[in-house]
Each structure stands twice: as structure tokens, then as C-alpha cells.
Structure 1
Amino acid sequence: MIAIRTVLLLSLLIIVTLIMLPLQLLGLAFDLKLRRYLPRYWHKVACFALGIRVRVHGRLEGKRPLMLAVNHCSWTDILVLSSVADVAFIAKMEVSEWPIFGTLAKLQKSIFIRREEKRSSGEQVNDIAARMAAGEIVVLFPEGTTSDGNRLLPIKSSLFGAAAMAVPLAPEGVVHVQPVAIAYTGIHGMPMGRFHRPLVSWPGDVTLGPHLAGLLKVAAIDVDVCFGTPIAYTKDSNRKRVSATVESDIRRMLLSKLLGRTIE
């Protein structure tokens, strides 16, 4: 039964992809607004196919420019967040060369950066700032890598440079930085503890094939997406202070959902 269900759901995803792909390519070719919101519908289908049920808490900030600062546990974070918001991701250049994920990232017009090339960092930050000023919601994973899903790793304040660069381009001189926590909290309708969280967490030494196979076998994961209080980033803002506030807010929201109780 698991094999039959997997084939049926993956067939559904392939059919939807074949229908949406030409439209997305057209949107990318002519920079149509279609390219921004079409991926949201594809990711909703992808979450359904993988058995990922998303619950949203709080609200996405409506003001622009907007940067979302999000904790990072797995490649499924991309599916989850993209299913509830029209976003563009900041990713390391290596992602563009990954099979499947690289293609999907390009189709969503992700922003690829080379962290090790300091000479081109200014140009990359300018590109991010311009995209935000144009009204796109940019997603930043400030931890810089994936965690085990049970905690938040220290975040890198330097990655908020794009928000600072976008301030002069913002109509009101304000860039809104919104903390967001993604917490994997349930499996087959039961609370997910540390024992089961490796089913969704994706550290660097785990290959995609077995990880995807494990998710398809379970096909019943609950995830909570918490939108926190946006922070106004202006020319007078202190990047490290903003970074510390974002880190505190994400950690509080993440632990509240993982532990099932309010954390102050």
C-alpha cells in the first residue's frame, strides 16, 4: 500500500509540474508577476504529496520591503515556507548545481551567493536589496546551515547586510525584518520528539535519496510556521542588535512549539 500511495502521489506531482512548468518559464522569461506566486501552488501540491501538513501562526507582514529570517532544519523548509508565502530564497551558489533542488531553485528565481568571494559580495548584496525594493519577499536562513531541528544555531549578523543595503531604496527608508520559526511537531497525529525529528532534519552528511524515501514512507508530518513581530530596520539600526533580537524571537517561537508551551 505504501508503494502504491507513493506512486500515485508522485504521479500527481509530476502532472502538476508538467502543467505549471511552461507557465513559470514564461513568467521568468518576461519577468511577469506570475513567476512570484505560481511556485506557491506547486509547493502546496508538493507538501500534500509528501504528507506534510502546515499550520500557520501569526501573520505575514504586509509592508514592503520585507526580509524573512527563518531557522533552517531541512530541505523541506523550502516546501513549507513556499506553500504559505510568495518568496525568493537566498542560497549558496553550490545549491544551483544540485540535481532537482538546483533546478527548482532556479525556477523560483532564488538569489545565489558566493560567500567565499568577498570581491563580489557587494554586488550580490545589491542584487538582494534591489529585489526587496521591487517588492519581493526575500528569505534568509541566518544560521548559515541546517540544524537538527531541536534547536536554533547561532545566527550570523553579517547576513543582514542586505537589509541595510535595501534601506536607501525603500520608499519610507524602512526595511521590515520578520522573524519566522519552522517547527516540526507531529508524526501520524502524535507529538514528535527528539527520536523522530531526524526523519525531517537534514544535516549535511545525509544523502537526499534515503531522506526522501523516509519521508514518503511516513507521509504524515505536522509542521508549525510561526510569524513573529517584524522589526523596522532603518539607517540608524544596529545590525548586531537587530540580529540578536531576531535570534531571540526565533528561538522563543521554535521552543514554544517544540515543547508545547509558551516560552517567554
Structure 2
Amino acid sequence: MKPRPSATASEPTRRIALWDWPLIAIRLIALAALLLLCVSAYYLVAPFTARNPVPRHFLRWVGTIAGLRVTVLGTPPITGTFFLANHVSWLDIPALAGATGTAFIAHDGLADFAPLRWLCALNDTVFIARHRRSTVSDQVEQIRKALKETGALTIFPEGTTSAGTQLLPFKSSLLSAIGTEDDSVTAQPVWIDYGHDAAEIAWVGDEPGLDNALRILARRKAVRVTLHLLPPLAGEDRRDRKAMARSAQRAIEEASRKD
């Protein structure tokens, strides 16, 4: 997750036409109604469960309203999974959360907008400051605690979104949260694949987030995404955090070449 787009790619050329606005309005009204319903359900359920199931269903329906259609392939995750996924769009979050129930590690820039921080907190989001090297050890401890509490966490090691056609280098610093010999935590790469639609869906360059969201909400054709849950890392692939970053990136690149 990211507060602002910073990857480089060609800008989407499609603009919102006048006749697109009724569909956008319908979807925005549906999202607002869903939010009101799920917030009420969240606080009703909260006293009776350690891991509230409402955010997972909320995010799944956010994706559905936005036109997202998710297919899941590969190795089913288990409790205590740390997902390492490529990052293309804000749609990655409802796709992954709806399919697996995962919480996310997000850049602390998202926390600057209070309503968004509140929504993220409902899904147990862990906010980190990637640019503050002095706080990495504290962030690692925060991530370890969150993994125990949530059962699954996702990090986007690229640190920002890409155009969906090739990966940016995976950063390794926060992977120290996964002990190389800790069998209770599974490190599992995930390839988020939008197929031929990746270039249109991707949030890259200088496009404002609101413009990207409106473009997707104006889209009449379904957004089809396949989540490839790849085999968990093991052995030498978990030797240290840098090996984990390299191995996860290689696994996703190899899966994309086979498709």
C-alpha cells in the first residue's frame, strides 16, 4: 500500500466521459451504504471475536462493487502466513484481503488522512516508515506482534506500485520480522496478475489516486485478477532477509513467465 504513486510508467490515456458518471455515482452510493452497514456490524461483532471477520467481507464487497472478479490458484495459505506480493493497484488490497483475510503493512503516509487511518486500523493494518532506518527494529517487533494477532500479513516489497508488466526490486529490511528458522511463520510469495488489463488498472506515474479510482469505477468491463499463491519459501530461500526478498521476487518472475 502506498500514500502516493511514485513508480514510472506511461500514463493511462482513457478519460472519464460524461456517460460514465451515472455508473460511478451508483458505485459510490453502493460503497457508502456498504461502509455504513459494515461499520455497524464490526462493532456488534467485536466483543465476541479476537479477529473480526467483518473487514474481510467488507473488502471483498468493495472489490465486487468496483467490478473486481478474483480467481485464486496455487498453494492454500495457513495460519501464520506472511505474504510477499507484487503491487499494481489499490485493488490488490480488496482482492487479497477478500480471498485470504490478510491484514497489510502500509506506509505511514496513509495515516496522515484520519478517516483512511481509521478504516485501515479496523483491518489491523501495520503502519511503518520505510524512510526511517533508525526505526526498523521497532517496526520489526510491531510486525511480529501483528502476525501473532492477525494470522496473516501482506507486505508489498517493491514499496510502491508498478505497471504490472515487470517487478521493481524487492526491498528486504522489514523481512527481518520473519525468523529464518521460525517454522510458525510461513513466507509465501503471491503473484497478483491482472493479465492484459494491467496497464489500464495500474496506479503509476503522477496520476492522482482519486483519478485512478474514478477511472476504475467508470469501467464497465469486469476487472479480472488471478492471485497465484506460490509455494512457500524454504531452506536456502529463507537463509536471511535478503535471500527471502530475492527468492520471492524470482518466484513471482518465474510464475509470470510461465503464464
For the criterion TM > 0.5, the same-fold answer is yes
| Cα separation, 1, equivalents of 2:21 and 2:247 | 46
Equivalent position of 2:158 in the other structure: 143
* 2:59 aligned to which of 32, 43, 51: 43
Equivalent position of 2:7 in the other structure: none
Residue 250 of structure 2 corresponds to residue 253 of structure 1: no
Equivalent position of 2:81 in the other structure: 66
Equivalent position of 2:16 in the other structure: none
1:130 CA drift (Å): 1.6
What code does the residue aligned with 1:249 have? A
1:211 CA drift (Å): 1.1
Which piece of structure 1 moves more, 126-135 or 244-253?
A: 126-135
| Cα separation, 1, equivalents of 2:60 and 2:246 | 32
Q: CA RMSD in A?
A: 2.5
Residue 29 of structure 2 corresponds to residue 11 of structure 1: yes
* 1:239 aligned to which of 238, 241, 250: 241
- Would you say the 8 A contact 2:164–2:194 is kept in 1? yes
| Cα separation, 1, equivalents of 2:244 and 2:152 | 18
Secondary structure in 1 matching 2:100: coil
Structural mapping, 1:1-264, within 5 Å: 2-25=20-43, 32-35=49-52, 37-62=53-78, 64-98=79-113, 101-134=116-149, 136-164=151-179, 173-185=183-195, 192=196, 197-203=198-204, 205-219=206-220, 220-232=222-234, 237-256=239-258, 261=259
Q: Which has the higher contact order (CA 8 A, sep 6+)?
A: 2
* TM-score (normalised: structure 1): 0.80
1:176 CA drift (Å): 1.0
| Cα separation, 1, equivalents of 2:241 and 2:85 | 16
Which whole-Å deviations, capped at 9, do the CAs of 1:172-215 have from their partners, x for residues lacking one?
x4421000010112xxxxxx2xxx53321112521022211211
Which segments of 5 or more consecutive residues in structure 1 lack a partner in the other structure? 186-191
Which piece of structure 1 moves more, 14-23 or 141-150?
A: 14-23
Count of residue correspondences: 239
Q: 1:99 to 1:215 in 2, by over 3 A?
A: farther
- Would you say the 8 A contact 1:50–1:215 is kept in 2? yes
What code does the residue aligned with 1:221 have? V
- Would you say the 8 A contact 2:51–2:150 is kept in 1? no
- Would you say the 8 A contact 2:88–2:198 is kept in 1? no
1:58 CA drift (Å): 1.3
* Percent of residue pairs bearing the same amino acid type: 26
1:99 CA drift (Å): 6.8
| Cα separation, 2, equivalents of 1:146 and 1:134 | 27
Q: 1:98 to 1:75 in 2, by over 3 A?
A: farther
Secondary structure in 1 matching 2:89: coil
| Cα separation, 2, equivalents of 1:84 and 1:154 | 26
Secondary structure in 2 matching 1:161: helix
Q: 1:120 to 1:240 in 2, by over 3 A?
A: closer
1:40 CA drift (Å): 1.5
1:6 CA drift (Å): 3.0
1:252 CA drift (Å): 1.9
What code does the residue aligned with 1:144 have? G
| Cα separation, 2, equivalents of 1:128 and 1:27 | 25
Equivalent position of 1:188 in the other structure: none
